Amino acid sequence: MIEIKDIAKAFNGKEVLKGISGTFKQGEINIVIGGSGTGKSVLLKCIIGLIKPDAGRVLYDGRDFYHSDAEMKQAIRREMGVLFQGGALFDSQTVLQNVRFPLDMLTNMSEAEKHERAEFCLERVGLAGTNDRMPSEISGGMKKRVGIARAIVMNPKYLFCDEPNSGLDPLTAVKIDELIKEITDEYEITTLIITHDMNSVMEIGQNVLFLHQGLKLWEGDNTSIAHSEVPEMNEFIFANKLLRDAAQ
Ligand SMILES: Nc1ncnc2c1ncn2[C@@H]1O[C@H](COP(=O)(O)OP(=O)(O)OP(=O)(O)O)[C@@H](O)[C@H]1O
């Protein structure tokens, strides 16, 4: 479980996050949604330690990240898997080398163990047999899968996905969502996704936080989202005609 408490962040006097709190439960898909520029990426970066918030706390199973010593911070970092926007693969490395990269950097496993673990993760995401392909030789959906394999290679307790569906066709996007959900269930991971994709929210969002101009305006599950009485959120979700029609 991850708890965030009153996270605030300003850049050059401009408040981007104005005190965000929430709880992300283990084994669940937690989604932060909101329009462009509402602070989703900054919040994610504050949670994973890439940007230090001006105020607030981030608790990883009770361990206060920003009030931990270097050793504890390092231990928490090793429990995180991150799927970066666009996959962020190394173009000059093969698929297998990309997946085993965290093992090379952070473990002293033998070559055979690293190979076996990376291959296992590639199989788990449906990419058996692609070890030696280069990122330029695979599709956008496959790149996301490689990114997921790399994010889970260290067996994370916490999985963070930044816009996992960006640039994918709708069918591939659904498959990626399903894969993230399956992996979350299977390994009981605390998963946090940031997105503006309402399809993901409706498909897999078990706990959804809506951000607007640096504030959390709504929180709930995907079954109650269509009945929200928050105007800003209704405007955001019903921008999608299909959802508008479905709600009538
Ligand atoms: N390092 C930074 N320095 C200054 N301003 C920043 C920095 N990072 C983000 N911002 C500002 O913070 C605001 C929120 O940005 P953020 O990237 O979190 O939005 P977002 O909700 O993720 O948007 P999008 O969905 O378009 O990615 C924006 O106005 C952005 O310009």
Residue 41 Cα, ligand 1 centroid: separation in angstroms? Answer: 6
Task: Please give the pLDDT value at position 239.
Answer: 74
In a domain, 85, yes or no: no
> What total of structural domains would you count in the chain?
2
Task: Please give the pLDDT value at position 84.
Answer: 85
Domain ranges, residue 198: 2-79+157-247
Q: Best of 11, 20, 201, 236 to mutate for ligand 1, by most ligand atoms within 8 A of CB?
A: 11
Same domain flag for 243 and 162: yes
For residue 30, give the 3-state DSSP assignment: strand
Same domain flag for 43 and 114: no
**Side chain identity at 246, as an amino acid letter?**
A
In a domain, 33, yes or no: yes
* Cβ within 8 Å of residue 91, ≥6 positions away: 134, 135, 136
Same domain flag for 47 and 119: no
Same domain flag for 168 and 205: yes
Residue 50 CB less than 6 A away from ligand 1: no
Among 107, 134, 155, identify where a domain stops.
Answer: 155
Angle of helix 140-152 relative to helix 170-187, nearest 10 degrees, comes to 10
Same domain flag for 164 and 241: yes
In a domain, 124, yes or no: yes
Residue 13 Cα, ligand 1 centroid: separation in angstroms? Answer: 14
Same domain flag for 134 and 177: no
* Cβ within 8 Å of residue 73, ≥6 positions away: 49, 65
Same domain flag for 38 and 111: no
The radius of gyration computed from the CA coordinates of the chain, to the nearest angstrom, equals 18
Residue 36 CB less than 6 A away from ligand 1: yes
Q: Which residue has the tokens 């504050």?
A: 46
Residues 139, 158: Cα–Cα separation, whole Å: 26
In a domain, 184, yes or no: yes
Task: Please give the pLDDT value at position 247.
Answer: 59
* Cβ within 8 Å of residue 148, ≥6 positions away: 83, 125, 164, 176, 179, 180, 183
pLDDT tens for the 248 residues of the chain, in order: 999 999 999 999 999 999 999 999 999 999 999 988 999 999 999 999 999 999 999 999 999 999 999 999 999 999 999 998 866 889 999 999 999 999 999 899 999 999 999 998 999 888 889 999 999 999 888 998 999 999 999 999 999 999 998 888 888 889 899 989 999 999 999 999 999 888 888 889 899 999 999 999 999 988 888 788 888 888 887 776 655 666 56
Same domain flag for 196 and 186: yes
Among 135, 155, 175, identify where a domain stops.
Answer: 155
Task: Please give the pLDDT value at position 245.
Answer: 66
Residue 215 Cα, ligand 1 centroid: separation in angstroms? Answer: 14
Task: Please give the pLDDT value at position 248.
Answer: 60
What is the CATH classification number for the domain harbouring 75? 3.40.50.300
Among 155, 172, 189, identify where a domain stops.
Answer: 155
Tokens describing residue 73? 């911070």
In a domain, 86, yes or no: no
Same domain flag for 107 and 139: yes
Residue 195 CB less than 6 A away from ligand 1: no
Same domain flag for 128 and 169: no
In a domain, 135, yes or no: yes
Same domain flag for 130 and 240: no
- The ipTM, to two decimals, is 0.96
pTM of structure: 0.91
Same domain flag for 164 and 234: yes
